[in-house]
A and B are shown apart, each in its own frame.
Chain A
């Protein structure tokens, strides 16, 4: 899909959501509705401009990095994002240390790690560094986990 069509889709999406939020803002008390309405109208106007621009601007050719990112690589960010969400949930359930180790292990196949020893050393070192930095030095208690705590 060309950047032109993506921009059109994004503009329509933003306009749609903004109209929905504007309707919601109608129920706000007098005064508290003004600023959100002002921003929403501006957003709708700018999104309409963005939509209009797609008919005049040249289509941007795919950059080399985008070409390289075809196939499995395009799905990898979503997978890593999913694992990050899971990390947040695991941290809540089993605590920082265990969750970080599990996440590091889950990320290994997702990132196609080749040098496993290097990966283990870096992630292990960072997990420990963060633990010491926050728990011992900054005195910020990291989660110990609902299930384990």
Chain B
């Protein structure tokens, strides 16, 4: 571990502090707007980080991630519309409090819970990631190939639209990653005579297209849609911190939901929405007042909000240690790591320790700061929701086009972004999730490298080589198990984790 003073001086430099504050502001605004997700927030701000050094770049993106998930609770509580799908469960108890004129109470509980869950997950990340990263030392080419397949299988299985479509999306991502000059022979693959494609399909424009441009196109179908103005309490009645009695009411929920959030976050592909519903169900099951759930229960709000923010740090544990993101947003963050020249695993902790530890401690700090910024700005941020879709769509289009262009001053990147944007829009139409495709694009080169190296090392007997390692066998078994379990238990799990019609009505997507 690097010197703590180095980490702190990195963290409290002007650029780092500005990156955290800027990231939190961006995340709060985007997370507040219903329909704009944390994936999109990170994807849209990704180009801004190109010119930055790794520390402020990663601090900004992780701050965006945490605050976008947190800000989703604002519109869930004030407007009965979750800003992100991770806050869908918050609606059930948050909005009834708003109807009773107690929106401030709901918001401060959501804020305190989000801060607690996020900070807890940052500590879990700090304590668990370094020892877990040592596992990566045991990995050879075969293991890297299988872990990429495992990551794809699990994110594909858990994505909306079903296992087959999820896996198909992931493998299509792998195929897209093979466009360009072959790493060994230098042969141009699937370039169709276009020399510009020799460098391959850039990951960032593809992410912006799949998450942001596609969302703008979807929003054009309801251009007049906007949210009504929200009446928030006067500043004299506004309370930032929860009362001690309120904290006592939710203290057990805070701890339980933090553990659950981190645990679900570690599972590749399981995002904040799953941890939030699981935690909400568990809180209701263990509560002394289950009858209050759905009618403004503080435990209900706390369970959902603690877990979805605890999920963020949890999702970064496998991302930092093995290169397998725990959530779709972590998949975009993984791309950011790669762009900054950081390869997940033990070597990253060993050689770039000061960067990694600064980012983790900065993530902890961001979770605290976002709560204060959130509570002080909510009343003003609520005005944003009066914007109709037709005013938001050009903003997304301009940011997407300019952001893609800014990567290497290339119009090709703009074309890649627009193509993936249209593809993402069509995928949404057939209920196919774009998140596995992003992961496929990122993991493709690693998977192929592992596959090719394994082929050389196997000296013609690939199957025996791939199967001789116990880690490979475990990964194969986990891959088969994850797909088989999802297929077998899919409908039953959906029913137990959340009522599907409730979920769909709140998030607008099939669970």
Task: Using known A-B contacts A47-B168, A87-B401, A134-B402, determine if residue A77 contacts B220 with beta carbons closer than 8 Å.
Answer: yes
CB A14 to nearest CB in B, in angstroms, measures 7
B415 at the A interface (CB under 8 A): yes
B168 cross-chain contacts in A, Cβ below 8 A: 14, 43, 46-47, 50
Contact (A43, B224) CB under 8 Å given A35-B178, A92-B411:
no
Q: Does B223 contact A (CB under 8 A)?
A: yes
Contact indicator B395/A126 (Cβ below 8 Å) = yes
Assess the B405–A7 pair: CB atoms within 8 A. Answer: no
Q: Which of B168-216 contact A (CB under 8 A)?
A: 168, 171-172, 174-175, 178, 182, 184-185, 187, 189-190, 213, 216
Shortest CB distance A125–B (Å): 9
Are B190 and A24 closer than 8 Å at their CB atoms?
yes
With A32-B185, A50-B164, A138-B51 in contact, is A21–B190 under 8 Å at CB?
Answer: yes
- Complex Cα spacing A92 to B189, Å: 28
Given contacts A3-B431, A46-B168, contact A32 B217 (CB under 8 A): no
Tell me if B452 counts as interface (CB < 8 A to partner A): yes
The answer to whether B406 and A140 have CB atoms under 8 Å apart is yes
Q: How far is the CA of A31 from the CA of B185 in the complex (A)?
A: 8
Are A35 and B452 in touch, CB under 8 angstroms? yes
Q: State which size class the interface on A falls in.
A: 35 or more
The docked-state distance in angstroms from the alpha carbon of A126 to that of B145 is 43
Choose from A68, A88, A118 the contact partner of B415 (Cβ within 8 Å): A88
| Contact assessment for B222 and A88 in the assembled complex, using a CB-CB cutoff below 8 Å | no
Count how many pairs of residues, one from A and one from B, have CB atoms less than 8 Å apart in the complex: 176
Contacts A31-B452, A111-B220: A77 and B425 contacting too (C-beta < 8 A)?
yes
In the bound assembly, the distance between CA atoms of A42 and B18 in angstroms comes to: 46
Of the residues A14, A69, A84, contact of B397 by C-beta under 8 Å: A84
Interface residues of B (CB under 8 A from A): 48, 50-51, 162, 164-165, 167-168, 171-172, 174-175, 178, 182, 184-185, 187, 189-190, 213, 216-218, 220-224, 387-391, 393-395, 397-399, 401-402, 405-406, 409, 411, 414-415, 418, 421-422, 425, 429-431, 447-448, 451-452, 455, 504, 508, 510
List 11 contacting pairs A-B, 8 Å CB cutoff, sorted by A: A10-B430, A31-B185, A32-B187, A39-B175, A53-B164, A73-B222, A84-B397, A122-B387, A130-B402, A138-B51, A142-B405
7 shortest interchain CB distances as A-B pairs: A32-B182, A111-B390, A69-B221, A77-B217, A46-B168, A35-B448, A76-B220
Extra contacts, 8 of them, besides A43-B172, A76-B221, A107-B397 (Cβ < 8 A), are A35-B174, A36-B190, A81-B422, A85-B418, A88-B415, A103-B394, A142-B402, A142-B405
